[in-house]
Amino acid sequence: MTLKSLGWSEFFRQEFQSLELGTGITPARVSRNSKHIYHVICEEGKFVARVSGAFRHQAKESSDYPSVGDWVAIKISPDGLEAEIRVLLPRRTVFSRQAVSASGTESKSYEQIVAANVDVAFLVAALDGGRGFNLRRIERYLTLTRNSGADPVILLNKADLSSELDSELDQAKSISAGAPVHAISATEERGVEPLRQYVRDGKTVVLLGPSGIGKSTIINRIAKEEIMKTSEVRSGDSRGRHTTSWSELLVLSSGGILIDTPGLRDVQLWSDESSIEETFQEIIEIAEHCRFRDCNHSTEPGCAVIEALQSGKISESRLTSYKKQKQEIINSSRRRELGEKKKHEPPVRPRRKVQRRKK
């Protein structure tokens, strides 16, 4: 396995070199991780690795630890059986979502990294006539992708089940904000060939979407071998059973790198406003003409967005989706600030309780 076929590039070479780690330390890419066990791939082969004591000592947040797709510097043990992760290299792109950890009555949100150093994201929907095709969900994934730094590509899978393919394609294109849209059938191997343009030597492609939508089947078709387990659809509904419960990076023998992900139930956004602006470009452009700079597009006079809504230029559902995503980002950055404050300040005793005691 060459470093280049694993996705190594000039960016990482320079980062690695500047660390001056000395001899015996090699770059490796994380292909899987569960708890504190990492699977890594490098020129020397595949290894199971743990982070070093010094690494753990320096790591503060969960995002300081390696994730699938990350490049790390490892030291392989003399017997060649295991490896130790010494350093995490900076990420070129990162997919993260907001996760919540609860301890006692406190819940804290933190950034959970789904995949790192991704070039292209396949945002997969299914034309199964049910919940698989949801434009609002695609919009959320688009924002997540723009925020990550990767390029989005929308895949409408299970085209064999659709009776309104043209209309569904049009709907997806109307919200794609310039991202390519492909209708495919993974099981019937239709439309799969054109996807190979994205899956090239050294390029990393992540597949995102809820479980049962056909991500693992698509991977098997692109790889031309059954490298991922797929699930049978339960009778009664069109969703598959959960099979992939963690992200996994696969290096194809035909070239290219794919990352399969488990179905992310609700993608809570962890991003900034600029990525939303790319997803909802046409709304942003219209909003330039609102009378007030901080217009919320609800009841303000001279609101160009409400005007566009009334004239049918934008749809109600799309505006709602935009407002929801925006609110979510505002909430999450507020929670993040609160979380950070808590870390640095000693806990404040509730005032009222103290006063009551005085009585």
Ligand X SMILES: Nc1nc2c(ncn2[C@@H]2O[C@H](COP(=O)(O)OP(=O)(O)O)[C@@H](O)[C@H]2O)c(=O)[nH]1
Residues making contact with Mg ion (CB under 5 A): 215-216, 243-244
- Part of the chain binding ligand X (CB under 6 A), chosen from 98-106, 206-214, 247-255, 331-339: 206-214
Quickly count helices (H) and strands (E) in the chain: 10, 13
- Part of the chain binding ligand X (CB under 6 A), chosen from 2-10, 17-25, 61-69, 209-217: 209-217
Query: By CB under 6 A, is residue 185 in contact with ligand X?
Result: yes
User: If you write DSSP's letter for every residue of 144-206 in order, what string do you get?
Assistant: HHHHHTPEEEEEEE-GGG-S-HHHHHHHHHHHSTT--EEE-BTTTTBS-GGGGGTS-TT-EEE
Would you say 229 or 289 has its CB closer to ligand X?
A: 229
- Part of the chain binding ligand X (CB under 6 A), chosen from 6-14, 131-139, 173-181, 232-240: 232-240
Tell me whether residue 212 is exposed, middle or buried, using C-beta atoms within 10 angstroms of its C-beta: 0 to 12, 13 to 18, 19 or more. Answer: buried
Query: By CB under 6 A, is residue 162 in contact with ligand X?
Result: no
Instruction: Mark residues 101-140: x for contact with ligand X by CB under 6 A, - for none.
Output: ----------------------------------------
Would you say 167 or 296 has its CB closer to Zn ion?
A: 296
Pick what 204 binds: ligand X, Mg ion, Zn ion, none; C-beta below 5 to 8 Å, kind-dependent. Answer: none
Phi and psi at 340, nearest 5°, equal -65, -40
Phi and psi at 308, nearest 5°, equal -65, -35
With CA atoms as reference, report the closest residue to 31 among 90, 79, 72: 72
Compute the Cα dihedral for 145, 211, 176, 310 and give only its sign. negative
Q: Which helix (H) or strand (E) covers residue 277, if one does?
A: helix 273-279
Q: Among 205, 206, 252, 290, indicate the residue that binds Zn ion (CB under 5 A).
A: 290
- Part of the chain binding Zn ion (CB under 5 A), chosen from 23-31, 40-48, 260-268, 285-293: 285-293
Instruction: Give, as one character, the DSSP assignment of residue 62.
Output: G
> Where on the chain is the footprint of ligand X (CB under 6 A)?
157-158, 160-161, 185-187, 211-217, 230-233, 240, 243-244, 263
The residues of the shown chain that bind Zn ion, judged by CB under 5 A, are 290, 295, 297, 303, 305
